[in-house]
Structure 1
Amino acid sequence: MGNPTARTGAPWRVGLLFSKTGITSVIEQTQLQASILAIEEINAAGGINGRELRAIHYDPGSSTAGFAQHAKRLMIDDGVTTIFGCYTSSSRKAVLPVVERLNGLLWYPTLYEGFEYSPNIIYTGAAPNQNSVALSQYLLKTYGNRFFLIGSDYIYPRESNRVIGELVRMAGGAVVGERYVGLRAQRRDFLPLMRECGQLRPSVIFSTVVGEATTHLYQAYADAGFDPRIMPIASLTTTEAEIGAMGPDVGCGHITAAPYFEAVDSDVNRAFVGRYKKRFGSDQTTNMCVEAAYFQVHIFARALAMTNSIETDCLRPMVLGSAFEAPQGQITINPMCGHTDLWTRLGRANGDGKFDIFWQSRVPVGADPYLVGYGAQVA
């Protein structure tokens, strides 16, 4: 494949695959903004070895087929070898064979279900051992052992619910219900599920609903008159972006596990949040997907500066094992699995549309995407 950046002084070209339209654009738009911010910062500092970093962005429209189509377009027509993008696991799995066949490098800044490895993907979002384990332990101890699982109907929610179900059962708990809704689910689709929760009285509703449907789930919960102090919705996917869309009053009191919240108390994070709001508006909030999309571009840039080659076979070995002071804290690309050693935090949404962090790990949690450290029952 010809590399259009081979000429000295020509821009380094990378691809961005995040949706500005469609059902998951509420979160993908924030990932796109974070990527743009990082690229602008790199260029303002002189680029990489004196060469500008230039992004080519296509909008997949939240369509799995669109992600595959545009990944091929980037790599074949545009000659790009590095792509930052994808939110849903379905979109990642659509792009995976493209980057493997054409030897590209996909940087994936989203939590996911684990149980995957590709030498052509750098995973910068949380794996289940970095969110599900701590969250399930806290919920079992604090609220009880009866879990009702609600998810969007695709790969990530089904696999994540399989993991959380095993963690709950290993601790002596029970899954009293497991239901799935379409990605375009409306508030009316959640009403029968809320009636079922009213009858079963679970200790916790565990949500792996994504996109616009998240708003409808939490609004249906509020309409049903449930109390998050007694039976909260706990999630891995509900960020500051979704809380903003549903309204802080609707989201208040519910729980999310994530490596990062806007409320992380550090100078590095406060400076990052300030730059993000200055660039995209004071009403914008950061979130875990924003933060991963941001720091992964900077890790890429550091590796590229050392290799001076954007070809995957040169770049990837330099990426593996690299560390970075991210807004969440010090993180490392784990050289054993291409995933990232991240922090684990639990947050409760407050009336301002943010999260109050009430627990966090003492050190970054090593990536364990196959849950090797948590028993064969989970695997």
Structure 2
Amino acid sequence: MKLNKFKKLALAAGISALAFSAHAEDVIKVGVLHSLSGTMAISETTLKDTVLMMIDEQNKKGGVLGKKLEAVVVDPASDWPLFAEKARELISKEKVSAIFGCWTSVSRKSVLPVVEELNGILFYPVQYEGEESSRNVFYTGAAPNQQAIPAVDYLLKQGVKRWALVGTDYVYPRTANKILEAYLKSKGFTDKDIFISYTPFGHSDWQSIVADIKKFGTAGKKTAVVSTINGDANVPFYKELSNQGIKAKDIPVVAFSVGEEELTGIDTTPLVGHLAAWNYFESVDADDNDDFIEKWHAYTKNENRVTNDPMEATYIGFNMWVKAVEKAGTTDSDAVRDALIGVSVKNLSGSYATMMPNHHITKPVFIGEIQDNGQFEIVDKTPDTVVADEWSDYLSGSKDLIADWRKPLSCGNFNVKTGKCGGSK
């Protein structure tokens, strides 16, 4: 009797294992690596939902290569080392074919050695500081010349003469501001024209810093704030600007990390007239954008859910991945990476995004002015899409570098002066 019972258990286990194996062969797993808790959840939760919507939509079309897509969602909880741990879990244990994730550069930097070691693929959907091009990362957010530089150019046209560069204390704001400082000095500005300040993630007491900005702006020259403040620290920052009577007409703020999602649920009245620079706004007038917004509202069952730039970057990256997998006829990382270069898909503003050999995409640039309804009125845009400059022309150690992942070069930091792969030396 006991032997019979043992045989039944073994048979059940065997059937279960076969069923699991069959399921694994019938699906393609996709990793979703975004903070659903902690200081960055305010921004990243929406990107998780975006990937799930895209997977759902693709499955209704029949999936990819005849297989259904299955999302594997993890929560790195705004904990930068945990991003690496979760990425390793997604690639090694869950066997995902690609990861869509990260927001901050510090989280991307944490994941980078993992995806390179395990030969994974990461789609990174947020603006960043540049100075990087990895074989295993596809950057669908903006490089500095696709956001920060055009934003400064817009302010220059408005007659701005003094610059307050204010950011969260981590790699993206520090490197972006290093580039902006060099760019401004190339335009004739000096140290006395530039004010720089950094604060920790989640910073809430802005009284003294805003007072310093206010004082800096009283020198009789038009002053602007260039903000690389990330996450939920933006809410008290803008509140303090209002508390101290700083209006957009006096000292405009142009932000690189404040979009429609961050404005949801706060009183935008004191923010009206301040600016943001992105490659997409929900207010873009285009049929593809209207369709995307309609699908988003239907998927979330919430007409009040807004769209934003990193969502569009996620949308573009996902569609590029699908197209590359179908082109390669496999989810093999090496084949998909090669297939991705040169892939073009529609963006949401009426043009196309193309994946370039440096693993960055072409993007239009928009300057938007905050309205009292939490949306942006587009006040300026580039005449065409902009090719990303992954290595800045304004930093001495970078200006001679390019990235080209096509064979035979296959290099992320090729020095055009020395003819060698490996950087500035």
TM-score bracket, normalised by the shorter chain, equals over 0.9
The answer to whether residue 373 in structure 2 is matched with residue 355 in structure 1 is: no
The answer to whether residue 214 in structure 2 is matched with residue 194 in structure 1 is: no
Q: Deviations over 1:301-356 (max 9, x none)?
A: 11112222111101011111100012133333433200011111111111110010
- Structure 2 Cα separation of the partners of residues 132 and 194 of structure 1: 21
TM-score by length of 2: 0.84
Q: 1:320 aligns with which of 317, 320, 341?
A: 341
Alignment correspondent of 1:231? 251
- Would you say the 8 A contact 2:28–2:96 is kept in 1? no
- Structure 2 Cα separation of the partners of residues 255 and 107 of structure 1: 27
Alignment correspondent of 1:257? 277
CA distance 1:93–1:39, shift in 2 (3 Å)? same
Measured after TM superposition, the shift of residue 371 of structure 1 is: 2.8
SS at match of 2:73: strand
Alignment correspondent of 2:95? 79
- Structure 2 Cα separation of the partners of residues 66 and 328 of structure 1: 35
Trace 1:300-379 onto structure 2 (pairs within 5 A): 300-372=321-393, 376=396, 379=399
Q: Deviations over 1:225-255 (max 9, x none)?
A: 0110121111111111112243221332111
- Would you say the 8 A contact 2:179–2:392 is kept in 1? no
The answer to whether residue 224 in structure 2 is matched with residue 208 in structure 1 is: no
The answer to whether residue 195 in structure 2 is matched with residue 177 in structure 1 is: yes
- Identity across the alignment (%): 30
Unpaired runs of 5+ residues, structure 1, are none
- Structure 2 Cα separation of the partners of residues 137 and 237 of structure 1: 18
- Structure 1 Cα separation of the partners of residues 176 and 386 of structure 2: 18
- Structure 2 Cα separation of the partners of residues 91 and 368 of structure 1: 21
- Would you say the 8 A contact 2:287–2:350 is kept in 1? no
- Would you say the 8 A contact 2:260–2:307 is kept in 1? yes
- Structure 1 Cα separation of the partners of residues 181 and 42 of structure 2: 28
SS at match of 1:212: helix
- Would you say the 8 A contact 1:110–1:292 is kept in 2? yes
Unpaired runs of 5+ residues, structure 2, are 1-19, 400-425
- Structure 1 Cα separation of the partners of residues 353 and 385 of structure 2: 9
Q: Which amino acid aligns with 1:345?
A: F
CA RMSD of aligned residues (A): 1.9
SS at match of 1:160: helix
- Would you say the 8 A contact 1:117–1:337 is kept in 2? yes
SS at match of 1:177: strand
Q: 2:143 aligns with which of 123, 127, 145?
A: 127
Measured after TM superposition, the shift of residue 176 of structure 1 is: 3.2
- Structure 1 Cα separation of the partners of residues 24 and 165 of structure 2: 54
Alignment correspondent of 1:118? 134
Measured after TM superposition, the shift of residue 144 of structure 1 is: 1.5
By relative contact order (CA 8 Å, sep 6+), the higher-ranking structure is: 1
SS at match of 2:319: helix
How many residue pairs end up in the alignment? 373
Measured after TM superposition, the shift of residue 6 of structure 1 is: 9.7
- Structure 1 Cα separation of the partners of residues 119 and 25 of structure 2: 24
Larger Rg: 2
